[in-house]
Structure 1
Amino acid sequence: MSTSTPEESRLSDDHCTPDALLHSAPARDVTPEDLVMAAGRDVTPATLAWARRKLETEGRAAVEKLLP
């Protein structure tokens, strides 16, 4: 049984995800996982294969095309 109050639960949900966890760092190579997540897809063997092919042909531009 939980001993937290509704307000304590709400407060724990009122935080922001750090920017470093949401975006690929420009100083490092883009991984297939980065591209899959930037595209809003689930990370699966099929989407990872798609991302690998896209990165091989387009490089970092593959991710940059997805950004607003």
Structure 2
Amino acid sequence: MSSTSPEQAAATPPVWRTGAEQPWDPEDLAMAQGRDPTPENIARARAELERDGAAAIERTVP
């Protein structure tokens, strides 16, 4: 049984865990996007990570 009242639960925002909370290598991002880890795909993923940071991961692994 929860000791949190309905009022407290409604006032407390949920805590969401996302895939961007951990470090990602360009190889990991390329594979998560369904691409083979070729030099070209790794370079594309590296550029996305440098440009967009966590947003690049969030688009792929929400």
* TM-score, with length taken from structure 2: 0.60
Q: 1:38 to 1:29 in 2, by over 3 A?
A: same
Q: 1:41 to 1:56 in 2, by over 3 A?
A: same
- What amino acid is aligned across from residue 56 of structure 1 in structure 2? E
Q: Summarize deviations over 1:8-63 as a string: whole Å, max 9, x none.
A: xxxxxxxxxxxxxxxx683x311101110110000000001001100000012101
| Bigger share in helix | 2
* TM-score, with length taken from structure 1: 0.56
Q: Which has the higher contact order (CA 8 A, sep 6+)?
A: 2
Match of 1:45 among 22, 39, 47: 39
Percent identical residues: 50
- Provide structure 2 residue ranges, at least 5 long, that are not aligned to the other structure: 1-18
Aligned CA RMSD, in angstroms, stands at 1.9
Name the count of aligned residue pairs. 44
Residue pair 2:20, 2:58 contacting (<8 A) in 1 also: no
After the TM superposition, which parts of structure 1 deviate over 6 Å for at least 4 consecutive aligned residues? none
Aligned-partner SS, 2:28: helix
- Provide structure 1 residue ranges, at least 5 long, that are not aligned to the other structure: 1-23
Q: 1:25 to 1:61 in 2, by over 3 A?
A: closer
